[in-house]
Structure 1
Amino acid sequence: MSEKKYTYEIDAVTFQLQEPYDFAWLTKLGVVFKVFDQQDSGNLSFGVEKEGQKFFVKFAGAKPLTFDGNPLDAISRLIEAIPLYNELKSKSLINLVSHFEVGTGYAAVFEWFAGECLHSHWLFAGEAKLSHPESPFYRYKHLSVEQRLASLDVIFSFHELVELQGYVAVDFYDGSILYDFANDETRICDIDFYRLKPTVNDLGENFWGSSRFKSPEEFILDAPIDEVTNVFNMGATAFVLLGGASDRSFAKWEASKAQYDVASRAVSLEREERFQSVAAFKLAWDETGSI
């Protein structure tokens, strides 16, 4: 990774890149009020406002300081992700407004959602995520169980739709969850790696995703990645948002025993012991009277 840094000041934000890039195109979209420049995906994102409307702009083509890959790969991934936001369009998913080639890169523009990312590693890394009173994750974990169950219902319902549309979630984790604390609203973002079925783990143990959410097959080369995998992901999500994350003991669980039993079955290490679809998992979860 280059040690050279190029500093940019655009409207209200300052950020650095490894290589120079012309952002004249960005200011045409509006006034830049926020930047997200700590992603290892190669994407650089901005909050912009124009005529009273706010938008989230995801851009690939530059080299953020935290990116050690090839910008061309980031561009390809973003372009390939565009159809996902149309195929899986939902009130629970951030809404794609437009997308276009710009210079040597590519941009996708979404409606702005006033939520906070539950894995804001660029502000609250490590222990601060869990314990800092301003951390979105900390604040989320201090919501009532009822509020978090309603939030989980949005997440589970969206992934039931994903399954119904013939897709599987890849790289879903708490960094994909936005929560608007003022309005108790949950939205999914960053579904760029979701895939059409059938598909397999083509990267081995480095398959996309957070180890806190990944199933055993997401560490094994050529293993199937399917709805049973997503059942595990949903169970792991329940333990992160309602329990002790990787500590899946009942002692750390905050909801009912019936819900704990459903989540525990979902994260069974043996695929055949899990629910065999997200729909079956959600049906069992709903039958516990979760919300």
Structure 2
Amino acid sequence: MSEKYYTYEIDAVTFQLQEACDFTWLRKLGKVFKVFDQQDSGNLSFGVEKEGQKYFVKFAGAKPLTYDGNPQDAITRLIEAIPLYKDLRYEALITLVSHFEVGSGYVAVFDWFEGECLHSHWLFTGEAKLSHPESPFYRYKQLSVKKRLASLDVIFSFHEHVELQDYVAVDFYDGSILYNFTSDETRICDIDFYRLKPTVNDVGENFWGSTRFKSPEEFILGAPIDEVTNVFNMGATAFVLLGGATDRSFAKWEASQALYDVALRAVCPEREQRYRNVAEFILAWDKVGLV
């Protein structure tokens, strides 16, 4: 028995959904040149162009083929995420332009950034992500250590800013990182699960996030999720972008021993052994980075 899918052709893109959906609202935003329809978040996103300007349009309310949840849950999450992009506005964060309700869901419109997602799972999965010559992650790892350190500085400084606004990062991973290989610019996207402090792990083992980036407390129901958690996240990010990801051996590390030592302390399983906050972590990182 074959399942029924609904196929849509809008301007330059074609995609399929599990349920019928109205997209008449989309035409008002411009000409569609790209679709991102493989997200398990329940969001369906588009690249659109209008009067020479490009935008990234995130829509909740459809049911993509890869989504097994309730579209209403995705709508609620997107609506709740809107204040995050306002409160955490920063040069390195993609810019929210507008947001509004449509008959079948909710829409958030962002300025388009000419970058590539480092976790492009819809194009490169498994080993292909790590070794395919066209994979953004593989190409990023071929950049000089100097360029990757500059990119990490952007990621770290944004999260120090997050900390200063009394928020904590939740579900930050390489899928949240965009990189422009022409201009060597880094941007942060998809901060939809970030939270105001204080907060705790209210899910348990399946708390939001990639296992490559999650701290021990992000697997424990009721554990605090705070700036110490984010220190771990930043250390884990350093190991993904400069080392062997979850293989945190020095043999896989591409930068200095001193930076390795800072990153290793950041990912210490014991919270009290880590840096107290992202600002303190950056101070230690920058101090040895100058050597």
| TM-score greater than 0.5 by the shorter chain | yes
Q: Does 1:284 align with 2:284?
A: yes
Separation of aligned partners in 1, 2:3 and 2:139: 36
Task: Quote the residue 1:53 is aligned against.
Answer: 53
Q: Does 1:31 align with 2:31?
A: yes
Separation of aligned partners in 1, 2:284 and 2:3: 52
CA 1:35–1:290 in 2, change beyond 3 Å: closer, same or farther? farther
Q: In the alignment, residue 122 of structure 2 is paired with which amino acid?
A: W
Aligned-pair CA distance for 1:3 = 2.8
Task: Quote the residue 2:229 is aligned against.
Answer: 229
Give the 3-state SS of the residue equivalent to 2:205 in structure 1. helix
Q: In the alignment, residue 150 of structure 2 is paired with which amino acid?
A: A
Could you tell me whether the CA contact under 8 Å between 1:201 and 1:221 is conserved in 2?
yes
Separation of aligned partners in 2, 1:260 and 1:183: 27
1:64-121, CA deviations, whole angstroms, 9 ceiling, x for partnerless residues?
A: 0000111111000000000000000001000000000011200000000000000000
Task: Quote the residue 2:149 is aligned against.
Answer: 149
Give the 3-state SS of the residue equivalent to 1:153 in structure 2. helix
Once the two structures are superposed, the pairs formed by residues 2-13 of structure 1 within 5 Å of their partners are 3-13=3-13
Once the two structures are superposed, the pairs formed by residues 78-89 of structure 1 within 5 Å of their partners are 78-89=78-89
Once the two structures are superposed, the pairs formed by residues 1-291 of structure 1 within 5 Å of their partners are 3-289=3-289
Could you tell me whether the CA contact under 8 Å between 2:21 and 2:104 is conserved in 1?
no
Separation of aligned partners in 2, 1:168 and 1:99: 23
Give the 3-state SS of the residue equivalent to 2:288 in structure 1. coil
Could you tell me whether the CA contact under 8 Å between 2:22 and 2:104 is conserved in 1?
no
1:37-63, CA deviations, whole angstroms, 9 ceiling, x for partnerless residues?
A: 000000000000001000000000010
Q: In the alignment, residue 211 of structure 2 is paired with which amino acid?
A: S
Separation of aligned partners in 2, 1:245 and 1:56: 29
Q: In the alignment, residue 139 of structure 1 is paired with which amino acid?
A: R
TM-score (norm 2): 0.99
1:227-262, CA deviations, whole angstroms, 9 ceiling, x for partnerless residues?
A: 000000000000000000010000000000000000
Could you tell me whether the CA contact under 8 Å between 1:94 and 1:110 is conserved in 2?
yes
Give the 3-state SS of the residue equivalent to 1:205 in structure 2. coil
Give the 3-state SS of the residue equivalent to 1:108 in structure 2. strand
Q: In the alignment, residue 75 of structure 2 is paired with which amino acid?
A: I
Q: In the alignment, residue 46 of structure 2 is paired with which amino acid?
A: F
Aligned-pair CA distance for 1:290 = 5.5
Could you tell me whether the CA contact under 8 Å between 1:259 and 1:290 is conserved in 2?
no
Give the 3-state SS of the residue equivalent to 2:66 in structure 1. coil
Aligned-pair CA distance for 1:276 = 0.8
Identical residues among aligned pairs (%): 83
1:3-46, CA deviations, whole angstroms, 9 ceiling, x for partnerless residues?
A: 32111010000100000001011011000000000000000000
Separation of aligned partners in 2, 1:80 and 1:289: 38
Aligned-pair CA distance for 1:148 = 0.1
Separation of aligned partners in 2, 1:36 and 1:222: 34
Q: In the alignment, residue 209 of structure 1 is paired with which amino acid?
A: G
CA 1:196–1:116 in 2, change beyond 3 Å: closer, same or farther? same
Q: In the alignment, residue 277 of structure 2 is paired with which amino acid?
A: S
Aligned-pair CA distance for 1:288 = 1.1
Give the 3-state SS of the residue equivalent to 1:54 in structure 2. strand
1:160-188, CA deviations, whole angstroms, 9 ceiling, x for partnerless residues?
A: 00000000000000000000000000000
Give the 3-state SS of the residue equivalent to 1:21 in structure 2. coil
Paired residues, what number?
290
After TM superposition, where is structure 1 displaced by more than 6 Å over at least 4 residues in a row?
none
Could you tell me whether the CA contact under 8 Å between 2:215 and 2:232 is conserved in 1?
yes
Q: In the alignment, residue 199 of structure 1 is paired with which amino acid?
A: T
1:208-229, CA deviations, whole angstroms, 9 ceiling, x for partnerless residues?
A: 0000000000000000000000
Aligned-pair CA distance for 1:289 = 2.1
Separation of aligned partners in 1, 2:245 and 2:190: 21
Separation of aligned partners in 2, 1:36 and 1:192: 17
Separation of aligned partners in 1, 2:282 and 2:13: 42
CA 1:64–1:290 in 2, change beyond 3 Å: closer, same or farther? farther
Give the 3-state SS of the residue equivalent to 2:178 in structure 1. strand
Separation of aligned partners in 2, 1:132 and 1:17: 28
